[in-house]
Structure 1
Amino acid sequence: MLNLDRVRALCAVAQAGSVAAAGRILHVTPSGVSQQLAKLEREVGAVLLEPTGRGVRLTPAGELLARRGDQLLSHASGIEAEIVAMRSEVVGPIRFGAFVTASRLVLPGAVTFLLSRYPVHVTVTEAETEVTLESVSRGRIDIGVVDSWESAPVEIPTELESRLIHRDTADVALPADHPFARSAVVPLSALSAMPWVAWGSGTAFHAWLVRTLRRQGFEPRVDFEASDISTHLAFAAAGLAAALVPRLAVDRPPAGVALVATEPRLYRDIYAVWRADTGGPAVRAGVDAVEAAFGSGEAQDSRSE
């Protein structure tokens, strides 16, 4: 691969007509220019200069490389200018990753805002928080939207920056005819006899539900597993199970379901995360857009605390 500094030295000789004059253009000694040219000749495997009188002249190979070298340096300069622009302007791709509820309810508004304001291309990948964190760490996505329950906190890798953008709460979904359905608050410990519907075994949400209920002194009986909140609510409406449901995921409960605040209260913090070495204007704009979308009416909890 050609070294641009050595190509620049050859182009300077072609422009100035001598090694000494090229050194003055490049602000290096003639010896320094000669060393660069010698290394360039070894790189390309051809003689680029030949002596003529007290000076030098370019060989046909040197003239070809100097001519193409000018084009190469111009192209490289253009790329550098684009990179500088990316550091100061919101341009280029913005790749999001988010857990299901954020992807469904919040990201569409954030993406719409970004596309209306900036010349960007935005993509969204839906995945569990652990997968999203790994994808950000490995550079597969630029911004992750992840959640961390107080009773089962997620460890954010040290190489990632993060911003807390929302706090969510979980309620318990009960059949509408359950004795606690009209209560303002239900102690989770009072629901030890209930069957539960949860996310699939091995998922973070399943582990969170089991861990949360164990802390209330009982082993939950998880009879039903499903990966969609609407299915959880359907089992509750049918009188078959209780479910722990994040408020962000439910606007209004379906008929036959009562959503009741829990004791203890169940909170999760939602963060935007990104790599510390890629936090340029596009990433900052993306994080701001997601935070604003969480703060809009569509992402706000409609039930009182």
Structure 2
Amino acid sequence: MLNLERVRALCAVAETGSVAGAGRLLHVTPSGVSQQLAKLEREVGATLLEPVGRGVRLTPAGALLARRGTELLARAAAAEAEIGSMRDEVVGPIRFGAFVAASRVVLPSVVAALLNRYPVHVSVAEAETEVTLESLARRRIDIGVVDSWESTPVDIPVGLESILIHRDSAGVALPREHPLAGRGIVPLRELAGMAWVAWGAGTAFREWLVRTLRAQGFEPRVDFEASDVSTHLAFVAAGLSAALVPHLAVGDLPAGVALLPTDPPLRRDIHVVWRPDNAGPAIRAGIAAVAEAFDRRGSQASSGR
């Protein structure tokens, strides 16, 4: 009978293209992966890998077993989830992935609530939404908290379940002495001459800012790059730039900064996402904890606290 952990090692080699990559994915040493694969070859009576230069590639038998192995692992996970759903107890690991603002502002309270209520181990991986969705599909995490801006919508991949848990918006941060800072709503098209602070090139947030401002008829001049909203606001407070800032990411505004609504408005939906074959009690508890945390934040915002 096939050993699923050895099959998992083969699937990891197929996914990453190398024994070393499989080791990093599975958090074991390359020699540990090689030992698992050698035992698997003895189990099936066939050569599964062959050397190519300094690396390896799957033989036809290896490629076949990797394809079937992915199906076997998915079925095993589904069976474990079904058995787990028959129990009421919330135990085991819960692995979250979340975009930056959710990871820093909301997830700490989610983790604390889960650890206070249940005997679980909780981890959080901060990443852009596209990376989180890929990690969820590849079973590296259990629950994803992802965002989708109206101007740059993100599609939830087929095979994943999701619920909408929060609607967020963004404003434009301007130095308080800027002529437009006294307006109730700032038309973005009137900021064509501003310098901007934004996330680094190649990130989803940078792409969102660029697309948003291009749609207003100008190419934004991004003079400053930073991956933290507090740094963005510091550049604005110094009178050096403007910034587009999601309200979820904002705590107390620095002196000298005005955060104003925009024309057009900038909105995003926030979803919690999971695999339907991995929806046992622990995962359901994690989803509920995220929803509760966003509900509390929404209630606090509406009450002005």
TM-score (norm 2): 0.70
Offset of residue 300 of structure 1? 4.8
Gaps of 5+ in 1: 4-42, 44-79
Following TM superposition, the consecutive aligned residue runs of length 4 or more in structure 1 with deviations greater than 4 angstroms are 80-83
Offset of residue 157 of structure 1? 0.7
Residues 131-188 of structure 1, C-alpha deviations (whole Å, 9 max, x = no match): 1111000000000011110000112111110111111110000011001112111110
CA distance 1:154–1:194, shift in 2 (3 Å): same
Match of 1:187 in 2: 187
CA distance 1:108–1:277, shift in 2 (3 Å): same
Whole-Å Cα distance in 1 between the matches of residues 157 and 292 of structure 2? Answer: 24
Match of 2:228 in 1: 228
Within 5 Å, give how 1:1-305 maps onto structure 2. Answer: 1=1, 84-89=83-88, 90-297=90-297, 300-301=300-301
Contact 1:293 1:299 in 2 (8 A): no
Partner secondary structure for residue 180 of structure 1: helix
Q: CA RMSD in A?
A: 2.4
Whole-Å Cα distance in 2 between the matches of residues 302 and 119 of structure 1? Answer: 34
CA distance 1:299–1:130, shift in 2 (3 Å): farther
CA distance 1:216–1:83, shift in 2 (3 Å): closer
Gaps of 5+ in 2: 4-42, 44-78
Q: Which has the larger radius of gyration?
A: 1
Residues 170-211 of structure 1, C-alpha deviations (whole Å, 9 max, x = no match): 000001100111211111011111111110000000000000
Range with bigger deviation, 200-209 or 86-95 = 86-95
Residues 82-119 of structure 1, C-alpha deviations (whole Å, 9 max, x = no match): 97345432221110011111111111111111112222
Whole-Å Cα distance in 2 between the matches of residues 178 and 143 of structure 1? Answer: 42
Contact 1:248 1:299 in 2 (8 A): no
CA distance 1:276–1:84, shift in 2 (3 Å): closer
Range with bigger deviation, 119-128 or 170-179 = 119-128
Whole-Å Cα distance in 2 between the matches of residues 303 and 191 of structure 1? Answer: 32
Residues 200-252 of structure 1, C-alpha deviations (whole Å, 9 max, x = no match): 00000000000001111111111111111111111111111100000011122
Report the residue type matching 2:227 in the other structure.
Answer: S
Range with bigger deviation, 166-175 or 278-287 = 278-287
CA distance 1:82–1:281, shift in 2 (3 Å): closer
Whole-Å Cα distance in 1 between the matches of residues 161 and 185 of structure 2? Answer: 36
Whole-Å Cα distance in 1 between the matches of residues 302 and 236 of structure 2? Answer: 21
Contact 1:248 1:300 in 2 (8 A): no
CA distance 1:257–1:299, shift in 2 (3 Å): farther
CA distance 1:299–1:134, shift in 2 (3 Å): farther
Contact 2:81 2:277 in 1 (8 A): no
Contact 2:147 2:269 in 1 (8 A): yes
Q: How many residues align?
A: 229
Whole-Å Cα distance in 2 between the matches of residues 271 and 82 of structure 1? Answer: 22
Partner secondary structure for residue 269 of structure 1: strand
Whole-Å Cα distance in 1 between the matches of residues 215 and 81 of structure 2? Answer: 54
Report the residue type matching 2:102 in the other structure.
Answer: A
Report the residue type matching 2:158 in the other structure.
Answer: T
How much identity, in percent, do the aligned residues show?
A: 67
Contact 1:247 1:301 in 2 (8 A): no
CA distance 1:119–1:212, shift in 2 (3 Å): same
Whole-Å Cα distance in 2 between the matches of residues 164 and 275 of structure 1? Answer: 15
Report the residue type matching 1:285 in the other structure.
Answer: A
Partner secondary structure for residue 277 of structure 1: coil
